[in-house]
Amino acid sequence: MSTVEAPAKKRAQISARTLRTDNWRSYPIFIVVLFTTWVAYATVRAMMGKYYWVDEYNYLTPFYSPCVSTECVPGSAHFGTFLPELPFFIPFAAVSLPFLLLFRLTCYYYRKAYYRSYWRSPAACAVREPHKKYTGERRFPLVAQNLHRYFWAAAVIISIINTYDALLAFTDSNGDFRMGLGSLILLGNVILLWGYTLSCHSCRHIVGGRLKNFSKHPLRYRAWTLVSKLNERHGQYALITLGSLVVADLYVALVSGGVISDPRII
Ligand code: FES
């Protein structure tokens, strides 16, 4: 009987960097411009130390939430001020921002985006990468990407705090119900943040993973179905929330600095 030999495991020897003829560079270029601009804006704002709170309307920008430094202006610290005066490069929200940064940095969607755009590993499907070796995420430091599920848990707590801030933006200093354009912007931002947090791949696994069958866990099955639906749009939430965070922060900064006034609805 003749034996069939397995095909040799060799890559096709193609000298061209890619045979793609479409505009595959547009995605990595878009991501580099977007992420670099966003990080620059967020860094400046987080370290600015002003224009983050509107006392009259209880507006707090998400970049300063929770405000926990003794330098936070009166009224803006809803959870106490337990951090002493800080050097300028440490933000007032020093207990939340590092976790949010790590949450996004280890996010599956962002990983794809920055591996392709900054690292070019690879820049796009079917495009030869410049790196000679591929070690995946098995070694330090990339093995730390596995901590994503823990940063997700921190992000859930911070989203609850952001929700509290957004609800507070519907009250005045006496605690009466009030509403302005800023209240709606902060609320819209927090809804999108929940969309991003709950559509996370780790969330999907936490909700519906490690089960032998769903029939014995109808509630978890229902939750998993909902999270799976959100998960289909996770990449969109990842990008949209970058925009909603900037809109919310910039709006609070402009009102706080007296550049614009907040149109009141109620
Ligand atoms: Fe994107 Fe978890 S995979 S936040």
pLDDT in tens, 119-141: 999 899 999 888 888 888 999 99
- pLDDT more than 70, % of the chain: 95
Segment 68-94 shows an average pLDDT of 94
- pLDDT reported for residue 135: 85
Mean pLDDT of 172-177: 89
Give distance in angstroms: CA of 231 to centre of ligand 1: 9
Residue range 16-42: mean pLDDT, rounded: 96
Grade residue 1 by pLDDT with cuts at 50, 70 and 90: very low
Average pLDDT of the segment spanning 139-162: 97
Range with lowest mean pLDDT among 98-102, 129-133, 261-265: 129-133
Helical (H) or strand (E) element with 30 = helix 26-48
- Of the candidates 243, 254, 197, the residue with the CA atom closest to the CA atom of residue 37: 243
* pLDDT surpasses 80 at 10: no
Number of domains within the chain = 1
Give a yes or no: residue 11 inside a domain: no
Ligand 1: which residue has its CA nearest to atom 1? Answer: 107
Distance 78 CA to ligand 1 centre (A): 28
Q: Is residue 3, in this structure, part of any structural domain at all?
A: no
Confidence (pTM): 0.92
- Ligand 1 nearest-atom number relative to CA 234: 1
Ligand 1 near 251 CB (within 6 A): no
Would 262 be classed as within a structural domain?
no
The secondary structure element, H or E, covering residue 197 is helix 181-198
Would you say 155 and 148 are in contact if contact means Cβ atoms under 8 Å apart? no
List Cα–Cα distances, 135 to 115, 123, 141, in angstroms: 13, 16, 11
- Ligand 1, atom 2: closest residue by C-alpha: 200
Q: Is 194 in the pocket of ligand 1 (CB under 6 A)?
A: no
Confidence of residue 5 (pLDDT cuts 50, 70, 90): low
**Domain annotation covers residue 59:** yes
Does 10 map to a domain?
Answer: no
pLDDT band at 70 (very low <50, low <70, confident <90, very high): very high
pLDDT(160) > 90:
yes
Inside any domain, residue 232: yes
Say if 7 falls within a structural domain: no
- Alpha carbon distance 187, 163 (integer Å): 8
Task: Compute, in angstroms, the gap from residue 107 CA to the centroid of ligand 1.
Answer: 4
CA distance 25 to 196: 26
- From ligand 1's centre to the CA of 178, what distance in Å? 34
Pocket mutation for ligand 1, best pick of 114, 137, 200, 227 (most atoms within 8 Å of C-beta)? 200
- Largest Cα–Cα distance of the chain, in whole Å? 91
Atom of ligand 1 nearest to the CA of 203: 2
17 C-alpha to center of ligand 1: Å?
31
To test the pocket of ligand 1, the residue of 101, 145, 151, 201 to mutate (highest count of ligand atoms within 8 Å of its CB) is 201
- For residue 175, the enclosing domain spans 25-257
Q: How far apart are the first and last CA of the chain?
A: 87
Q: Domain for residue 116, yes or no?
A: yes
Average pLDDT, the chain: 94
Share of the chain above pLDDT 90, in %: 85
- Contact 201 CB / ligand 1 (< 6 Å): yes
Is any ligand 1 atom within 6 A of the Cβ of residue 152? yes
- For 137, the token pair is 């995420």
Q: Is 181 a residue whose pLDDT tops 80?
A: yes
> Side chain identity at 46, as an amino acid letter?
A
